[in-house]
Structures are given as C-alpha cells and as structure tokens.
Amino acid sequence: MTTSLRNHRTLFLSDLHLGALGCRADLLLSFLQANRAETYVLVGDILDLWHPLLPHWTEDAAHVLNHLKQRRAEGARLIYLRGNHDPDPGRAPAEKRLDVAPVDSLLHQAGDRRTYLVLHGDVADGRAVRSHAMTRLGSRIDHLLRRLDRGLSILRRTSTAEARSTIEALLSGVNALLYRRCGHERRLIAMARQAGADGVICGHFHIARLHDAHGLIYANCGDWVDSMTALAEASDGSLQLLGWRATETTVATVKGQPDLGPVR
C-alpha cells in the first residue's frame, strides 16, 4: 500500500457501515491516513449500529472515527449526510458518535465553480425498498450471509482478507443486477437538473461510478464493503474515483476518460 500523503480539496465517502460485519474499516483507515482533505463529506450510511443483537464494532472502526474527529480538530470541515442506515446518528453511543448535525442534502460548489447536488441516494429507490423494514431485513440477510461466508472460510482454511469470496461476489452481483438499467442514475440526475446543479454526488447503491452519460455529471462514491472507493475533488474542481484494495488506483475521472462502469 502506498504511504505517500495526498492532499485533496474534498473527499466524499459513503456507506462506511461502521458496525456492520462487512465493513472494511481497516482499509478505510489506511486510505484516510494516506489521503487528507480540507473538507470531508460523509454521504450517508456511516454508522450501522441499529442491530444490537448483531454488533460488530472493531478497533479499526473506532480509529476511523477518531481520525475524522482529529482532522476536524485540526481545522478540516466535516459534513454528515443522513443515510437510510443512520437516520439519527445523534442517538449513537457517545464513543461511536461524530458530533456533527446530519443533513439530508447539500449543494456543493467545487473549485471550478460547478455545483453538485449531494445526497445519499436512497430517495431514488421505490417506496417499498426505502421503508425501514426493508432496510433492516436487507441488513440482517447481508449479515447472516457474510457470517456464513466467514464460517466457510475457516472450514476451507482460507483467509477472508484474500480473494473475494463466493458469497461476497454473489451479494455484489445481485446488487448490480438490481440497478443494471441505471434508472436510479437518471432519477438522481433529474433531481440535480431541477436544482440547477451541474451534477449529482451520491452513495447508497454500492456501485462506484463517475460519468456524464446522462447529460450531467453522475458520481457515486462507492462504499467500504464492496467497492472500497472514494470520490476525491482536487483544488481545480476535477473529480476522481480512487480505489483502495491492494494499491491506490485512479478508477475514473470526470473528463478525458471513458466510463469504466461499475467498480468491482
């Protein structure tokens, strides 16, 4: 993993799911230690603590929160958007809380004066999918499948830190299938257009993308369960998707590079 420190104007991070079994807080922590920003925009589903019977809070998760708190103490700006898994982050235990008032959306002005509507993205789902009951059910299924996968990994005497497992690949594939027609992208772009913005930045779908195929810029930060990506804005306002698995890579840029499709 590269250790050189990179500075950004803004880092957009979504779907950390700190507290969920699938969260890769270890990779997220190393990414944050290697990438510093003036502003951190947390694009929803940061904490995943609603299931008290299925806790999975780790030391790395605590270090992630401490890193963000330290950056804020050093003068960095921290913005917290509410996701469907963390509707009220203020109710989290004190030691697992970022003392930042959450908002539902914002208009972000980039360094090149372009504006982006930033929101979690679950508003683009159907009403039934957006319900709290479906959110909780989906989380329980995801947790149980990942728990099963870890048990199978032990039986196979393989490490969960190695190649992606069959069950993880299945979960990722099902998610891509659900959104294969990209209707969610077009709905969010329509919202950005209505707001007079130049594009939209979101999370939620666990499919990292950056393109302008719908007439405006569509950027999905990805997540820290499947994609291991974040969206970075440079001082000139340009956007890049940064991947963080074995080494840091530039997955896509907003201009001058074809859309690479969903990041896997």
Chain mean position to CA 166: 22
| pLDDT in the model for residue 94 | 83
| pLDDT in the model for residue 38 | 98
Looking at every residue in the chain, the average pLDDT score rounds to: 81
What architecture is the 7-253 domain classified under in CATH? Answer: 4-Layer Sandwich (3.60)
CA pseudo-torsion sign 168, 170, 243, 109: negative
- Please write the tens of the pLDDT for every residue from 172-182: 555 565 656 67
- Classify residue 174 as exposed, middle or buried by CB count within 10 Å of its CB (0-12, 13-18, 19+): exposed
Q: What is the DSSP letter of 164?
A: P
- The residue count of the chain comes to 264
**Over residues 124-152, mean pLDDT:** 55
Please state the domain extents for the chain: 7-253
pTM above 0.75, yes or no: yes
